[in-house]
Amino acid sequence: MALVSEDNLHMWYSYITIGHLLGGFCLTFGILARLAALFQIPILIGAVFISEKGLMMGGQSLELATLVLFLLILIFIFGSGPIAVSVYFKKREQKGETSGNADAAVTA
């Protein structure tokens, strides 16, 4: 059974579409950025290797796909950065835990 055939082609299109939409949203706001980058990397690897066969048309180029692939690998390795939404919530949660512990110590 072939990995890509006429029977399961819609599955691949769905994965690419959902992967780009959800992954792009998560990467934009820094929510689960490493997981989003992990889902995007196989799509961009396919774009880099298939680009010579006509997948990337209309002004896009192999260099653009390679650059985005490189940036996704960097995000996967280093994370989303200091201004991500997930970092904000993590700091807020830690702040709440420390103040919550202080309140518990005062009442005890």
What average pLDDT values come out for the chain (108 residues) when binned by 10 residues? 67 82 88 89 83 56 84 90 84 74 49
Domain locations in the chain? Answer: 9-80
Closest CA to 28 of 91, 75, 60, 70: 75
Cβ atoms of 19 and 40 within 8 Å: the answer is yes
What is the spatial distance between Cα 93 and Cα 19, in angstroms, rounded to a whole number?
29
Task: Check residue 77 and give its pLDDT.
Answer: 92
